[in-house]
Structure 1
Amino acid sequence: MSRHDSVPPQPTATTADAAPTHGRSPALGAGEPGYADRHATDYDRWFAKPGITPATVDTLAGLAGTGPVLELGIGTGRLALPLAERGLDVHGIEASQAMVHRLRAKPAGDRITVTLGDFADVPVSGTFSLIYIAGGTFFELADRDAKQRCLTAVAAHLAPGGVLALDAHLPEALAVAAASGAPETVSETDDHLILCHRRIDPATQTYQSHYLVHESDRTHHLRVHFHYVSPGELDFMAERAGLRLRARQGTWNQAPFTKDSAYHVSVYEHR
């Protein structure tokens, strides 16, 4: 996985909050110790995001050029494997060994270079035409210092003309959803039902996502934690890292970013 509250679903998509975890993957996050390792076998089944994945892959492929590319919080390869199928040389960083095992077990999973570690430090060598962080994973980094460290390291690993692409919730949309008190239906199939309820603490710019996963007459309770920043804060931090905003969209389908957007997809380049 990667770290992150999953970006809100597009109108026809069913997605899960990507649970942030310091150096983990986009749907299992900073919660109880060993969280990603314990739930790695269930991750794809619970958080596959079939509605949003094709558009995300298309957009990333369009930004990648000839590669190579690097995913922060690669998880089980939801995005990395389709990108590799398009001929790109894909690398990844992941904190959970169990998630990497799941990736390796998939067809062509052994062709992707994965570094175990905390993606805040971008512990790899070389440069990349595209570095990306999807599923709200950037918010899994615990605080501003970790985010700033990550952005600075990303800038050092971007090839000339390379870009950073990431998605993130909007604080206002998070507050509205939390204030409603109604749980969000993350996924509903014949086999399972996943609900999410968020609790926000504006004083610390953090929120906690509670997931209830019901299947086979059993219910799992997953808790994951995130630290959020506004688009303006993110732009300022990127500037400090030597990056500037190139484009901002309202979805991975490249819909315009408007006052009604629930999240944003932002692309940064060297200043």
Structure 2
Amino acid sequence: MTSSDLWDADTAEHYDERAAEKFAPDVLDPTVAFLAALAEGGPALEFAVGTGRVAVPLAARGVAVSGIELSQPMVDQLRRKASTEELPVVVGDMATTRMPGRFSLVYVVWNSIGNLRTQEEQVQCFRNAARHLSPGGRFVIELGVPGIRRFPPGQAAVPFAVTDQHVGFDIFDMVTQQGTSHHYHRLDDGTARYGRSNFRYIWPAECDLMARLAGLTLEQRVADWTGEPFTSESESHVSVWRKPLDAADED
């Protein structure tokens, strides 16, 4: 049982279109290059692989990529781009589901670890990553830094997107670290479509503690896939933890 929202067939069918900005070369190319370098020629496993936004171009770079994905409809969309032989996927949650084999790299992108909405599941996600890693392998996450410093007293939400086509805002519960993203998309006929997703936000220091509990050590933290320095003003981070070379494999 997982606390994650389960994305349905309609969401999966329109996912690539609605996330078009994340497919742009200036976003995707640095992501793939960063991950390919960390894989160092070894196999990679993506948690929450989705429709293969990152996994498919990473595999095209010569990395043997596998995936774990909770939503079967998302996997169905991925299958339009890559076969089972080209990109194996196991359907299940990223906290407990196992993919056969050991990997040089395990990664989860675009805030997806927050889809696990309890601290315990997030801790288990780090442990699951460690179980999949070969000694010396790396676990990478891309995660936003909660924008709660922008909240004046009494404000309940903070915008993260305001364009002619898309207005989005997050609501945060400061006690439970639960959040909800609200999206309003303008359609071509002038009507609007509403969508929402739930998450639990994690502070970078909390991520480091989860990694330590899983036996992983922080190797680097940067603000984005281009390697910009992470500072107190950064709104996101890409963090890399490494499994010790002398670590014993876990079943």
Instruction: Establish whether residue 234 from structure 1 lines up as the match of residue 210 from structure 2.
Output: no
Contact 1:251 1:265 in 2 (8 A): yes
Matches within 5 A, 1:65-214: 65-106=40-81, 108-110=82-84, 111-171=86-146, 173-176=147-150, 183-185=159-161, 193-214=165-186
Given the two structures, how large is their TM-score scaled by the length of structure 1?
A: 0.81
For the residues of structure 2 that align with 1:183 and 1:73, how far apart are their CA atoms? 25
Name the SS for the 1:40 alignment partner: helix
For the residues of structure 1 that align with 2:163 and 2:18, how far apart are their CA atoms? 7
RMSD between superposed Cα atoms in Å: 1.9
Q: 1:64 to 1:187 in 2, by over 3 A?
A: farther
Instruction: Establish whether residue 225 from structure 1 lines up as the match of residue 198 from structure 2.
Output: yes
Moved over 6 A (4+): none
For the residues of structure 2 that align with 1:177 and 1:91, how far apart are their CA atoms? 40
Quick one: higher RCO (CA 8 Å, sep 6+), 1 or 2?
1
Comparing 217-226 with 241-250, greater Cα deviation is found at: 217-226
Name the SS for the 1:120 alignment partner: coil
Residues 8-27 of structure 1, C-alpha deviation per residue, up to 9 Å, x if partnerless?
xxxxxxxxxxxxx72xxxxx
Q: CA deviation at 1:102?
A: 0.8
Gaps of 5+ in 2: 245-251
For the residues of structure 1 that align with 2:66 and 2:182, how far apart are their CA atoms? 31
Paired residues, number: 235
Q: CA deviation at 1:185?
A: 2.7
Aligned to 1:258: 231
Instruction: Establish whether residue 38 from structure 1 lines up as the match of residue 10 from structure 2.
Output: yes
For the residues of structure 1 that align with 2:234 and 2:205, how far apart are their CA atoms? 15
Given the two structures, how large is their TM-score scaled by the length of structure 2?
A: 0.87
For the residues of structure 2 that align with 1:131 and 1:187, how far apart are their CA atoms? 34
Q: CA deviation at 1:124?
A: 1.4
Residues 42-77 of structure 1, C-alpha deviation per residue, up to 9 Å, x if partnerless?
110111311411111110011011121000000111
Aligned to 1:54: 29
Residues 138-182 of structure 1, C-alpha deviation per residue, up to 9 Å, x if partnerless?
1111111001111112111101211000011113x2442795966
Contact 1:122 1:154 in 2 (8 A): no
Q: 1:38 to 1:115 in 2, by over 3 A?
A: same
Equivalent AA in structure 2 for residue 183 of structure 1: P
Gaps of 5+ in 1: 1-20, 23-29
Q: CA deviation at 1:184?
A: 3.3
Aligned to 1:3: none
Larger radius of gyration: 2
Q: 1:40 to 1:186 in 2, by over 3 A?
A: farther
Q: 1:124 to 1:86 in 2, by over 3 A?
A: same
